[in-house]
Structure 1
Amino acid sequence: MLVSFTAEGRAFWGVVGEGGVIALSPDFPQWPGLREVIAAGGMDLVLEAAKGRVVTHREGAFTYDIPIRDPEKIICVGVNFPDRNAEYRDGQEAPPNMSLFVRFPRSFNGHGAPLIRPPESAQLDYEGEIAVVIGKGGRRIPEAEALGHIAALTLCNEGTIRDWVRHAKFNVTQGKNWDRSGAMGPGLVPFRDPAQILDVALTCRVNGAVRQADRTGRMLFPVARQIAYVSTFTTLVPGDIIVTGTPTGAGARFDPPIWLRPGDVVEVEAEGIGLLRNGVADE
């Protein structure tokens, strides 16, 4: 797994090793971040360079950053599971086209860092998701070729301030972009086979209790279609991230709603991708 991390005030990237991480960025100064590694087609090279190397930073001596620190775009897909559509209780069938919105990198923390609840609202919610990282850019990518444009997979907790989602009539930008309200990571799992995304179990737990559980095979808009659709209107470039949708079970859908509070621990897990764990803290 490729990771971005900070140690002693310095930014590094490298790979996960036994008991810590192996810093590789000093060996590849031409690539300041994993976005540049991906753009240059260098993932296999750096993974090979890690073989036989010892850990340079032990657990506890560094903090995880979001894997791609500076993506050009983070595009999120909303209402992408059948039961999730039913949660809205508006009597409408799933729409023919996917709902999309954007998030800023600053709205995410890395693995192990807390989701931050702002003083303006107590309605901090979780959304466990899988994210795909684009490796080969393109415009109007055919759906049949779309999975070939993925470089890696990671996990996302698409933390949301629910009442701010409803501040305007048609958009959700305000509720989706509070600083450090979500999380992404721990790192990037290289994408080698369509089976890594086609029918994968995705689970989100809060304090050990399962809140969300589904499989990517039930998505209303599969990942290949997401890439094809998004690339119709915008050019995808290496390092772009598509957050692919969350199952039913977010805190807003309980009666009464169950919001995240300081001290809670949220875990997002997916087969073959790993585990993203974050606490919750007040700003």
Structure 2
Amino acid sequence: MKLLRYGEKGKEKPGLLDKSGQIRDLSAHIPDLAGDALSPSSLAKIAALDPASLPAVSGKPRIGAAVGGSPKFLAIGLNYTDHANEVGLAIPTEPIVFMKANSSLCGPNDAVEKPRGSTKLDWEVEIAIIIGSRAKYISEADALNHVAGYSVCNDVSERFFQIERLGQWTKGKSHDTFGPLGPWMVTKDEIADVQKLPMWCDVNGKRCQTGSTATMIFGVKKIVSYLSEIMTLMPGDVIATGTPPGVGMGMKPPKFLNVGDVVTLGIEGLGEQRQEIVAA
């Protein structure tokens, strides 16, 4: 299934995208695509519905972040061998974990703000894992049983804030709009092999990133299991899993985003995003 949230910011409703591309309203069945609505039992009940029986949503509403009320927004750094090589950093021996503020989550086509004082605004196409059930000390073999689905994420980053202003990466990763997520959460049953998904990112129509989840250093199962040993994962948690090469910081010379630039990105089977850069 392709599940989504639509409507103006802060008032999103849950929806389902049928096979014809029509959004169907799920409000009569779940209050939001969040929390317990992401559990295996809840998703099974939604899957059993006849999409044609659900109200069709008219027009072209705004698409919100793929899930709502996320308890945590986690991310993995330097998780693609070719990306680590392009920025001249050693291949990690275990996942590099950092946090993005929940308030940075936004719709896949919402404008991205360039923060005040920003000089090195960057893009990162990533596949995000959406957790569906509580996970603590789980094995890699059991990891996917706790995954509700996957989504496209742009891990927008301000490199000056992230690297040159001391402290943790979080400060360069957490500005409002730095977490476009969507357009959908695609349930895991629709993805034959999450470790074989092509991905791309264009800036102003020029291809910058071309990659595949096949070059991830730590795969989805490892990431979920590893994080469950550090903290309890909860339904609705979002985990951005790293980016392939082609980010602005890795270019020679480096290239960064300015007001008016347009970023488009996507992952096979998970949809596409488009963001215009605006001043904060």
Query: Could you say whether these structures have the same fold, taking a TM-score greater than 0.5 normalized by the shorter chain as the test?
Result: yes
Match for residue 23 of structure 2 among 11, 21, 24: 21
Structure 1 segments of 4+ aligned residues over 6 angstroms from their partners: none
1:151 is the counterpart of 2:148: yes
1:222 is the counterpart of 2:224: no
Identity %: 28
1:69 is the counterpart of 2:68: yes
8 Å CA contact 2:68–2:236 kept in 1: the answer is no
8 Å CA contact 2:71–2:102 kept in 1: the answer is no
1:5 is the counterpart of 2:2: no
1:105 is the counterpart of 2:78: no
Q: Which amino acid aligns with 1:72?
A: P
- Structure 2 gap segments, 5+ residues each: none
Structure 2 equivalent of residue 34 of structure 1: 34
Q: 1:120: Cα distance to partner?
A: 1.6
Q: Which amino acid aligns with 2:42?
A: G
Structure 2 equivalent of residue 271 of structure 1: 268
8 Å CA contact 1:127–1:157 kept in 2: the answer is yes
Q: 1:169: Cα distance to partner?
A: 4.0
5 Å-filtered alignment, 1:227-242, equals 227-242=224-239
Q: Which amino acid aligns with 1:149?
A: H
Q: 1:170: Cα distance to partner?
A: 4.8
Give secondary structure in 1 for the equivalent of 2:12: strand
5 Å-filtered alignment, 1:181-220, equals 181-192=178-189, 195-220=192-217
Larger % of strand: which? 1
Q: Which amino acid aligns with 1:74?
A: F
Task: Quickly say closer, same or farther: Cα 1:153–1:19, change in 2 above 3 A.
Answer: closer
1:195-229 per-position Cα deviation (integer Å, ceiling 9, x unaligned): 34121111111122211111112111111111111
8 Å CA contact 2:128–2:150 kept in 1: the answer is yes
User: What TM-score, normalized by structure 1, do the two folds share?
Assistant: 0.90
1:129 is the counterpart of 2:123: no
Give secondary structure in 2 for the equivalent of 1:41: helix
Task: Quickly say closer, same or farther: Cα 1:193–1:145, change in 2 above 3 A.
Answer: farther
Task: Quickly say closer, same or farther: Cα 1:214–1:46, change in 2 above 3 A.
Answer: same
When the two chains are superposed, the root-mean-square deviation of aligned CA atoms in Å is 2.1
Aligned length: 277
User: What TM-score, normalized by structure 2, do the two folds share?
Assistant: 0.91
1:58-89 per-position Cα deviation (integer Å, ceiling 9, x unaligned): 11xx2221112211111100001112111232
- Find the aligned partners of 1:236 and 1:109 in 2 and give their Cα distance: 21
Q: 1:144: Cα distance to partner?
A: 1.7
- Find the aligned partners of 2:204 and 2:44 in 1 and give their Cα distance: 37
Task: Quickly say closer, same or farther: Cα 1:163–1:192, change in 2 above 3 A.
Answer: same
8 Å CA contact 2:24–2:51 kept in 1: the answer is no
Q: 1:181: Cα distance to partner?
A: 2.6
Task: Quickly say closer, same or farther: Cα 1:274–1:127, change in 2 above 3 A.
Answer: same
Structure 1 equivalent of residue 245 of structure 2: 248
Q: Which amino acid aligns with 1:243?
A: A
Give secondary structure in 1 for the equivalent of 2:49: helix
Structure 2 equivalent of residue 166 of structure 1: 163
- Find the aligned partners of 1:260 and 1:112 in 2 and give their Cα distance: 16
Structure 2 equivalent of residue 84 of structure 1: 83
Name which of structure 1's ranges 121-130 and 49-58 shifts more when overlaid on structure 2.
49-58
- Find the aligned partners of 2:122 and 2:250 in 1 and give their Cα distance: 10
8 Å CA contact 2:15–2:24 kept in 1: the answer is yes
- Find the aligned partners of 2:82 and 2:156 in 1 and give their Cα distance: 19
8 Å CA contact 2:127–2:240 kept in 1: the answer is yes
- Find the aligned partners of 2:270 and 2:256 in 1 and give their Cα distance: 26
